[in-house]
Structure 1
Amino acid sequence: MKAKLGMSPIAWWNDDLVELSDDVSLEECLKQSRSAGFTGMEKGRRFPEDSEVLLPILKAADVTLCGGWFSGTLVDEDIAANKDRIAPMIELFKAVDAPCIVYGEVGRSIQGDRGKPLATKPRLADDEMKAYAKKVTAFGEWCAEQGMPLSYHHHMAAVVETEPELDTFMRHSGEGIPLLLDAGHLAFAGGDVLRAIDNHHKRINHVHVKDIRRPVVDGLDRSRQSFLDAVALGAFTVPGDGSLDFGAIVQRFADHGYEGWFVVEAEQDPKANPPAKMAEVGYKELMRVMTRAGYTVETQGFPKV
């Protein structure tokens, strides 16, 4: 089985908490990640939107674009508005041969509002979830028709956060909207990561290997503290530095024959946890558990023409 290892630039620059950002260029970010061993990087706010500008940067760093976040609003807005916003991203991702666009629902979400406690997250009634899932499926089908598949990201503080919410969303949605399984977000929400992989492996097309620090997560006052408070306190980290058993998690993906990207997305204070060092820790741990699970990790970065 083959796998690819990537990172998210959120370890270097945090879009929601600017104070949790390292003052490094895109080129330096790519260099540090590649030096640790990672061959891919998801899109971040310092990436150019023009493929003719972006491609030479990726090529020079020997890194491929392995995904990127789209802030979807389908829970409140119509499909047409989301099509208009995602269309340029689809063209960019196609031009650089990215595998997928990560769909993150921000409609009604409190993930970016530090003043709203975790306990106040939005919740959908059964009929709302059913309608939402069908709408997202239709949008995913349209994106695939344009040549770029989506990957749905369940997320803390959003309308699909908990394992039961994820199960309901998956039950009412269709194959037109594949799933991004994020170990850290599901564990933070109290879910069983291995069970979720068993239940939804047929739809998983992208994986975030985010780890959590269990003492931080369990110590939160969810009636008072927000998602961003949790991030600032160090709730997330890289595999090998947290509390999740990635040996078991990666083995479960292998058991179901998953092949594709495993992306480290671990937002935290870069001053307390230098991204270059954390990248090395995460890569070492992933290589250990992936080798044991029978994966062959690809070492080529930017596609050779």
Structure 2
Amino acid sequence: MAKIKLGIAPIAWTNDDMPELGSENTFEQCVSEMALAGFTGCEVGNKYPADTAVLKKALELRGMEIASRWFSSYLLTKPYEEVEAEFRPFCQYLKEMGASFCNVAEQGNSIQGKLDKAVFADKPCNTEKQWQLLCEGLNRLGRVAKEEYGLTMTYHHHMGTGVQTEAEIDRLMANTDPEYVWLLYDTGHLACSGEDYLGILKKYLPRIRHIHLKDIRMDVRNKVMDENMSFLAGVRNGLFTVPGDGCIDFEPIFDIIGNSDFEGWYIVEAEQDPAKANPLEYAIKARSYIREKAHI
């Protein structure tokens, strides 16, 4: 476990997809409470300073560092050259912050941000042409990230996208270059989708380079499915929570990873309405649970 660092995502303080959730919470409050709860790293949120010198100073004061950042790719709907042009300053920012990872998720046909689309019933499926565009584009972006910026690019499977299920993850992994495209393993999205998250972990552990620890409330998940709710409506209703507060048993996950060669970050990520789930309280709850169950 000495090879594993522990961080937390700012989305619990202010939601990137619904900025009105937590709009009152400042960047300074967010990173201060992360450190107070016992975390040493984080991902980049929408309130983080664009000036890396300003961000570095704020994090160093709190003993924090940047682990990674989300990048929305539009390889299915934009020319590759346009996506790469947006990707380069994103990578430069992370390089300046001393990060080692960047997380990519294809949004060209995603419904995760659409309130009028049911996250289960309206889930997109990639066509043959889309799979080709996606995999070829990811190989090219991954090469840029590694060879020009020294970053490991991981792909974030996600609810409401064309890479959500085990079969879709299998296809992505089989058709991308393992030298340039790695996997971000997200417990909550796999459990929510109904996938075998332990089996996927065992299958792809050598290719997993970043881990999101997210729990789910199964009763809310079933409500989202039964009532054809959108992804964002599910979030508002408490679909996700921190490890130790939902239905996932993380001990087998920690055991498998702890007995492997994995080296990198555990990132607690649980998008909730901060008015209902106090971010500091839930961050402390997650930190205590991980200390008890993962011994870090």
Confirm or deny a common fold (TM above 0.5). yes
Aligned twin of 1:155: 158
Q: Whole-Å Cα distance in 2 between the matches of residues 254 and 222 of structure 1?
A: 37
Structure 1: which amino acid aligns with 2:11? I
Q: Which amino acid aligns with 2:146?
A: A
Task: Tell me how far apart the structure 2 counterparts of residues 271 and 7 of structure 1 sit (CA, whole Å).
Answer: 18
Q: Return the alpha-carbon distance in structure 2 between the equivalents of residues 202 and 82 of structure 1.
A: 28
- 3-state secondary structure, aligned to 1:120: coil
- Cα distance 1:107–1:223, how it changes in 2: closer, same or farther (>3 A)? farther
RMSD: 1.4
Q: Distance in 2 between matches of 1:141 and 1:201?
A: 21
Task: Please tell me whether residue 193 in structure 1 is matched to residue 187 in structure 2.
Answer: no
Indicate conservation of the 8 Å contact 1:109/1:122, yes or no.
Answer: yes
Q: Does 1:112 align with 2:113?
A: yes
**Residues 1:87 and 1:42: Cα distance change in structure 2 (over 3 Å):** same
- Cα pair 1:9 1:41 within 8 Å, conserved: yes
- CA offset at residue 131 of structure 1? 4.2
**Contact 2:75 2:133 (8 Å CA) reproduced:** no
Q: Distance between the aligned counterparts of 1:272 and 1:265, measured in 2?
A: 16
Structure 1: segments with no counterpart, 5+ residues: 292-296, 298-305
- 1:200-231 CA-to-partner distances (Å, cap 9, x unmatched) read 11111100001111111122236721111111
Query: 1:174 aligned to 2:177?
Result: yes
Task: Specify the code of the residue in structure 1 equivalent to 2:256.
Answer: R
What is the distance in 2 between the residues matched to 1:242 and 1:150?
Answer: 29
* AA at the equivalent of 1:199: K
Consecutive unaligned residues of structure 2, counting only runs of 5 or more, are none
What residue number does 1:121 align with?
123
The worse-fitting range, judged by mean Cα deviation, of 177-186 and 46-55 is 46-55
Aligned partner of 1:203: which letter? R
User: Is the contact made by 1:247 and 1:290 (CA closer than 8 Å) also made in structure 2?
Assistant: yes
1:114-263 alignment, distance < 5 Å:
114-118=115-119, 119-126=121-128, 128-147=130-149, 148-175=151-178, 176-221=180-225, 224-263=228-267
- SS of the aligned residue for 1:220 comes to helix
Kept in 1: contact 2:214–2:240 (CA 8 A) = yes
Identity percentage over the alignment?
A: 36
Runs of 4+ aligned residues of structure 1 deviating over 3 Å after TM superposition are none
1:87 and 1:18 map into 2 onto residues whose CA distance is 25
Q: In terms of mean alpha carbon deviation, does 181-190 or 44-53 score higher? A: 44-53
Q: Secondary structure at the match of 2:224?
A: coil
Tell me the TM-score normalised to structure 2 length: 0.94
Q: Is 1:33–1:279's contact at 8 Å kept on the other side of the alignment?
A: yes
In 1, the alpha carbon distance for the partners of 2:210 and 2:34 equals 19
Contact 2:69 2:103 in 1 (8 A): yes
The 1:30–1:99 alpha-carbon spacing in structure 2 relative to 1, beyond 3 Å, is same
**What is the number of equivalent residue pairs in this alignment?**
292
| Alpha-carbon contact 1:130-1:169 (below 8 Å) kept | no
